[in-house]
């Protein structure tokens, strides 16, 4: 559900600190926020450099990714090229996860990927929302972010899209090309556009080792 903004809120919001508003999921105008634009532009430049380095030196590229992303668990692998990670401080990836090539994370909101996840190529995670009921506010660039959370031990096929505000449980398999518009519970297989639960999967009899 996209939350609404009234014209009366606009003036009040414009006076508040932009990073505070983004962090709490409140409305802002990206087109009028140079601080946000600078973060996104710097991130794009850094990723372009990392992708160039990866063409000849994967080890060096991996080290640069570790420096670029401060919230990576132990043993995380991210394959290059990476398309976009707009806000590196807002992305957390749990230990042992593997992220295949061409990841795209469009997010001022928090994005959390759990431990031991397999994320297929071309996956896209989006946290921004825009007004649906007021085209004038939409044209003015108003938006807000809703966090995305992906539980431990999930597997995404290629080209999965996750929309703002979605929480995906543990041990979830999402089929290739799915568009996840709503929360998914633990221990299911889901696919389609919009993604729907196809069936449940039996939880592992033994807990997965931590790591």
pLDDT score of 209: 45
Answer whether residue 99 is part of any domain.
yes
Domain count, the chain: 1
Active site residue 130: yes
pLDDT tens track for 45-68: 999 999 999 999 999 999 999 999
211 pLDDT tier (thresholds 50, 70, 90): very low
Answer whether residue 142 is part of any domain.
yes
Answer whether residue 204 is part of any domain.
no
Q: Given the residues 32, 130, 171, 182, select the one marked as catalytic.
A: 130
Q: Is the pTM of this model over 0.85?
A: yes
Q: Provide the domain limits for residue 11.
A: 7-199
Answer whether residue 209 is part of any domain.
no
Answer whether residue 206 is part of any domain.
no
Strands (E), 82-195: 84-85, 91-93, 98-99, 104-106, 111-113, 118-119, 124-126, 128-129, 142-145, 148-150, 155-156, 161-162, 167-168, 173-174, 179-180, 188-191
pLDDT tens track for 171-196: 999 999 999 999 999 999 999 999 99
pLDDT score of 127: 97
Answer whether residue 54 is part of any domain.
yes
List the CATH number of the domain containing 14.
2.160.10.10
Per-residue DSSP letter, 72? B
């Amino acid at each position: 559900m996209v939350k609404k903004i009234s014209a009366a809120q606009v003036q009040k919001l414009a006076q508040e600190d932009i990073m505070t508003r983004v962090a709490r999921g409140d409305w802002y105008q990206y087109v009028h926020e140079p601080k946000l634009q600078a973060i996104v532009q710097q991130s794009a430049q850094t990723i372009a450099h990392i992708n160039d380095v990866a063409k000849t030196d994967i080890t060096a590229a991996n080290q640069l990714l570790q420096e670029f992303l401060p919230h990576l668990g132990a043993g995380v692998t991210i394959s290059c090229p990476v398309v976009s990670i707009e806000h590196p401080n807002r992305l957390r990836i749990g230990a042992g996860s593997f992220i295949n090539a061409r990841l795209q994370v469009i997010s001022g909101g928090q994005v959390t990927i759990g431990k031991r996840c397999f994320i297929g190529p071309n996956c896209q995670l989006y946290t921004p929302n825009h007004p649906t009921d007021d085209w004038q506010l939409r044209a003015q660039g108003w938006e807000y972010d809703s966090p995305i959370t992906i539980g431990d031990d999930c597997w995404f096929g290629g080209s999965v899209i996750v929309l703002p505000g979605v929480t995906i449980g543990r041990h979830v398999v999402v089929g290739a090309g799915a568009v996840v518009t709503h929360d998914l519970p633990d221990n299911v297989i889901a696919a389609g556009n919009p993604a729907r639960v196809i069936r449940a999967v039996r939880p592992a009899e033994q807990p997965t080792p931590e790591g």
